[in-house]
Amino acid sequence: AIRITQSPSSLSASTGDRVTITCRASQGISSYLAWYQQKPGKAPKLLIYAASTLQSGVPSRFSGSGSGTDFTLTISCLQSEDFATYYCQQYYSYLPEFGQGTKVEIK
Amino acid sequence: QVQLQESGPGLVKPSQTLSLTCTVSGGSISSGGYYWSWIRQHPGKGLEWIGYIYYSGSTYYNPSLKSRVTISVDTSKNQFSLKLSSVTAADTAVYYCARARSEKDAFDIWGQGTMVTVSS
């Protein structure tokens, strides 16, 4: 199975900050990586797929980059509604695997 | 706009079978082109993919759960279902149904989730 290591597990930031979350795959997965946002009591919401393609309706302050084994989600200017938990997910293999999550909290 | 809605018992006894249904609205499962998955999230934990089904009935399951999982589809009702047998407390989780555009793709639409507790 392809393992995904996501870091950090949590971070504190202020509105307006630039935030970066990283995922590393245990083997190369090309660009078969997605990012999700989850708020308490809600289902995950797809933000980015194919490592860098923004899902329709997602604000442009979210961006993704990377290929192979190392990937990054960047929130360029953190807004109040962005405080949530973020997950990456690889879909290179027929067994999708999610990262452990990064909780973005208010500083 | 396609929407997914999970339904089923919120409490299941140990050793019994967990049964959930996902109803698809705003689109037809039988039109093809999408893969329909079940994903769960243990309390306070991350996400675990359980398996998927295509409208034709072809399935693929997470090897860690394969011996206990059955996913089926009822195109006449525009629903797909999950059965998980021999449940234990470790199966207590929020269960989500979700859609992907292929068997190897991101999940673009999710149901709201349903909490299932395994307890006597």
End-to-end CA distance of chain A: 36
**For B44, which residue in chain A has the nearest alpha carbon?**
A40
Residues of A with CB under 8 A from a CB of B: 32, 34, 36, 42-46, 49-50, 55, 87, 89, 91-101
CA distance A41 to A36: 14
Mean pLDDT of B83-93: 98
Under a CB-based contact definition with an 8 Å cutoff, are residues A37 and A44 in contact? yes
pLDDT at site A6 = 98
Residues 69-108 of B with CB under 8 A from A: 96, 98, 100, 103-108
**Residue spans of beta strands (DSSP E) within A41-84:** 45-49, 53-54, 62-67, 70-75
Residue appearing with tokens 């698809």 = B24
Beta bridge partners of A4: A25
CA distance B51 to B49: 6
pLDDT band at residue A1 under the 50/70/90 scheme: confident
Confidence of residue B108 (pLDDT cuts 50, 70, 90): very high
- At B9-64, the pLDDT tens digits run 999 999 999 999 999 999 999 988 899 999 999 999 999 999 999 999 999 999 99
A44-102 per-position pLDDT tens digit:
999 999 999 999 999 999 999 999 999 999 999 999 999 999 999 999 999 999 999 99
Is residue A70 within 8 Å of B16, Cβ to Cβ? no
- Whether residue B108 and residue A89 make contact (CB cut-off 8 A), yes or no, is no
Copy the structure tokens of residue A30.
């090309």
Q: Where does residue B108 fall: left (phi above 0), alpha (psi -120 to 50 degrees), or beta otherwise?
A: alpha
8 A C-beta contact, residue A42 and residue A69: no
Structure tokens that stand for B80 in this block: 């797909």
Mean pLDDT of all residues in B62-86? 97
